[in-house]
Structure 1
């Protein structure tokens, strides 16, 4: 180990050419940067056909990572009314829901981008990409510590100015920035692969099942092209409702049906149990393999989602409808319910009632929903085809998760430990 490594104010992982370059220099953020505040851009100011690219603080949480190159929002406000970026400016929200969320930094890679009023702007002669990764990684919790407020978190210039950090020479900053940004490029490319496979599956499902009002699918495997029309049979003849209640509260695994993730343990979805654990006797028992309808409407589930329980036995809110197919040999109907072929029936058989965010449908009407039926061999072929694509999605998603974990590990090692800087 070199003398520089023994001194401590160096990262745990350093590129070979810098291992004998000495310690990083301890600084306060105020020593290396100037601080500005963006100017107001409201939601109403966002115009799809505007000429001026702009960034609002909420987009840092939902859209952008550490680097902002392709700006998605535009406004038609005059540049004279706006605060425009320099290339390499680092932005951090000045308000947010939680202190840890507010500690979200991003480097603006373009000049003359309008920055909204709820953004702190850090302008430095240091490498902005390096600084963004540093603030968003090793120093994230330090930023959260200095944020103020409980119901709404606030981050002021005076909070950021006192932030301690360690700075290497520009050439080492660039090396770290290049390393992490190259991993981000891999992550972006891998995420696009995952989305492409998901889109392929979605399009395929719409063709492998008959469209509403049709009796054969647009796409059929060769061996079934002369097999005749599909039938439509009410759900109640193919499945039965599951109405068993959780007597004496024997089961305490509370499940939820998310439009995005399907049936999952409520703890995984909300990070805690939302249901009252002492009052689960009235919940429905849901066995593995059962199907669940959640009447809650969302953008991704306009009539509510129907999902198969692939988790484990548990209980569900009595607001849901639980049913079990008489013959549950494959994922044929699990995939069908991911299409839109049953949506029109639901709209006709139900109303939104008093609550516009929920479908109101009688149990009998729900169980009368017509489902497509073909010979078992064709159902199995379709299920196998779509399952193979699911396997591909899983494999590609695992690669994406591994890349993100690799980046996270690198970010922990490419910067000095915080306690060595503030200690």
Structure 2
């Protein structure tokens, strides 16, 4: 039996304050490795993910072909098992809610004692545990795995069963709340997608499926090319990095990596007035649309767009579209998000690694009067605000959970 270690968590439910220290055991005292290959290859193959744990591949976008012969060597995973994956040193140990098969490359762990699964499901994804997992694990990189021996050397908490259940119930309830808000976010995103499909004419059409009542008698939308309304589209540039005085200024400087169908109010870098003057950079008013014209490599930035929420300048990888008398920039932003995939046709099959004026000016747009454009743009922007607020709410809940876990689970000091 290994040496026991005892600690007290920073946060504790009132009924357990007088319970004293937690007991800690080595990993091999709580869990054992399981290598059950007794199956007929008729169970679902599980993908081991950091976000959803072990989950059947058909439930997620995971397409890896495996031969029947290979599946024979796969291990059986039962509901309640834990799995040490290739990336456990980054994201903790995964839990399975499914009966299925996993690659023999993984280590399947099963509890040896009568302890609640959910307590360890949360603990094995906590920051304190991941820190412990990485202690003395030199040389661990992608493609390598934490061994059962290394797991066995880690001290793992074993508070009394009632306290384990209370902690697990608290964190699981928070998970359910996060899931409910995530479902709402998906519903809002789907609603916006459907709204865009109805507010913009479909391919080959000049009238949308849905039109605001005051515009029903306005006739067909106008089909044109962006070049009909935008000539000699401008880009920015990068001030010389050899002159430190050009940077750490107060003027927002937008780069293509910051464009992600968003409104930008803060930039990664700010430049000085001297940099703007010496490099003849333009300052664009709020509401200017920027499209990334370079970046094919994954994750790829070319074609992504964004609006500036404040006065800003940009680098040579962004093309700027300012408001004009015909096209409302906010409308153009939403229209572009809806049809950007189709716009790639204009550059496919060429060796052109970036968009340029001649390519962008050929992009086709169908638009109504500017007044109707603004009505559509404001409607879609209102939904965007709901989506942004919902995403922020989820992030706040996730941050709350991370902080709660750090308080509920003691950290073993070196």
Cα 1:375–1:323 change in 2 (3 A) is closer
TM-score (norm 1): 0.76
Where does residue 93 of structure 2 map in the other structure? Answer: 105
Match of 2:129 in 1: 139
Equivalent position to 1:123, from 110, 121, 145? 110
CA contact (8 A) 2:11 2:407 kept: yes
Given that residues 90 and 122 in structure 1 are in contact (C-alpha distance below 8 angstroms), is that contact kept between their aligned partners in structure 2?
yes
1:353 equivalent among 314, 329, 350: 350
CA contact (8 A) 1:127 1:173 kept: yes
Q: Is the 8 A contact 2:256 2:318 kept in 1?
A: no
Q: Is the 8 A contact 1:105 1:133 kept in 2?
A: no
Secondary structure of the corresponding residue to residue 155 of structure 1: coil
- Let me know the Cα RMSD of the aligned residues: 3.8
For residues 165-180 of structure 1, the aligned pairs below 5 Å read 165-180=156-171
Q: Residue 290 of structure 1 contacts residue 323 of structure 1 at CA under 8 Å; is this kept in 2?
A: yes
Q: 2:79 aligns with which of 74, 87, 97?
A: 87
1:231 aligns with 2:230: no
Map 1:244-255 to 2 at 5 A.
244-246=236-238, 250=246, 253=253, 255=255
Is 1:381 aligned to residue 375 of structure 2? yes
Equivalent residue runs for 1:8-407 within 5 Å: 9-36=7-34, 51-56=42-47, 59-61=48-50, 63-65=51-53, 72=59, 77=68, 81-93=73-85, 95-96=86-87, 100-101=89-90, 103-110=91-98, 112-124=99-111, 125=113, 126-137=115-126, 138-149=128-139, 151-152=141-142, 153-240=144-231, 241-246=233-238, 250=246, 253=253, 255-257=255-257, 260=260, 262=262, 287=284, 288=286, 289-296=288-295, 304-310=303-309, 313-316=312-315, 318-327=316-325, 331-340=330-339, 343-344=341-342, 346-347=344-345, 349-354=346-351, 362-407=356-401
Structure 1 pair 301/217, CA: closer, same or farther in 2 (3 Å)? farther
Write the distance in 1 (CA, Å) between the matches of 2:366 and 2:297: 25
Please tell me whether the aligned partners of residues 142 and 163 of structure 1 are also in contact (alpha carbons under 8 angstroms): yes
> Compared with structure 1, are the counterparts of its residues 261 and 167 closer, same or farther at alpha carbon in structure 2 (3 Å cutoff)?
farther
> 1:333-388, CA deviations, whole angstroms, 9 ceiling, x for partnerless residues?
11111112x654541x3334348xx5x65522321323223222211111111111
Is the CA contact 2:201–2:207 (under 8 Å) kept in the aligned structure 1? yes
- How many residues end up aligned between the 2 structures? 380
Over 3 Å counting, the alpha-carbon distance change for 1:285 and 1:212 in structure 2 is farther
Give the CA deviation at 1:178: 1.7
TM score, norm. by length of structure 2:
0.78
**Structure 1 gap segments, 5+ residues each:** 1-6, 40-49
Structure 2 spans left out of the alignment, 5+ residues:
none
